[in-house]
Amino acid sequence: EVTRLNNRAIDLIGAVADAIVENKEFLTSLDAAIGDADHGINMARGVEAVRAKVTAAPGADIGALLKTTGMTLISTVGGASGPLYGTAFMRAAGAAQGKTELDGETVKQMLAAAIQGIKDRGKAARGEKTMLDALEPAFDAFVESLEAQKPLVDCLEAATEAARQGVAFTKTIIATKGRASYLGERSLGHQDPGATSSTILLATITDFCRK
Ligand code: ADP
Ligand code: MG
Ligand code: MG
């Protein structure tokens, strides 16, 4: 199954930007509990800059759009999340180079590359209360659905659901990477802001692809 994104990629970026901006206060409040109360502010600044960039330079293929997205996040987001998400999008861009539409296998490669980029950059692993605790289970669920020959949107739906469960799991573990790790046991009971923003990204992409 092939989902055509060529004329919709910029609209999708807009939908993601809207979703992050809508959740700006929520994400910041999560970061206030275990970090420095800026995750929503950081992400909203980043996605608004990305929206402006890609709107000004439309017509590129998906790889080029994602490369612009990653570079813009790295240069505009001050926090840890900027370089991490920025690297993720740059790596996903590499897997989508020259593409004007995406199939399940390509999306799988993009997700794998994005996650590897986050790990290379942040040196975290699953279970340390970071965005990886949403993204890695999401990837596993995506692959499982893809191997079961499910349509791409259903694979994305499964990934989003797994990410939601991953966010819930982050409440039960102690942070050992990022600012929240300074809190030690006091990070227990709180969901990770980055895992939450990752899940919002996946949910928005899934909803968009359903339309
Ligand atoms: P900062 O912590 O610099 O203020 P943000 O608040 O924007 O940056 O982002 C915090 C989020 O970044 C965390 O909730 C976590 O998900 C993620 N994060 C922090 N460090 C790492 C890391 N080493 N690897 C993966 N994700 C990380
Ligand atoms: Mg922060
Ligand atoms: Mg900060």
Per DSSP bridges, beta strands 101-103 and 2-4 are: antiparallel
Ligand 1 lined by 117 (C-beta under 6 Å): no
Q: Provide the whole-model pTM.
A: 0.96
Tell me the residue type at 64: A
Measured at the CA of 45, the angle between CA 211 and CA 30, to 5 degrees, comes to: 85
Domain ranges of the chain: 2-210
Which fold is adopted by the domain 2-210? 1.25.40
> Which pLDDT score is estimated for 7?
61
Here the tokens at position 174 are 């102690």
Percent of the chain with pLDDT over 90: 88
Q: How far is CA 116 from the centre of its chain?
A: 13
What atom of ligand 1 comes closest to residue 38's alpha carbon? 6
Ligand 1 lined by 133 (C-beta under 6 Å): no
Using CA atoms, how far apart are residues 88 and 128, in angstroms rounded to an integer? 18
Q: State pLDDT tens for residues 74-105.
A: 999 989 999 999 999 999 999 999 998 899 99
Q: State pLDDT tens for residues 144-153.
A: 999 999 999 9
Using CA atoms, how far apart are residues 58 and 60, in angstroms rounded to an integer? 6
> Which pLDDT score is estimated for 1?
32
Cβ neighbors of 113 (< 8 A, separation 6 or more) are: 91, 92, 94, 95
What atom of ligand 1 comes closest to residue 78's alpha carbon? 3
> Which pLDDT score is estimated for 5?
46
Using CA atoms, how far apart are residues 38 and 81, in angstroms rounded to an integer? 10
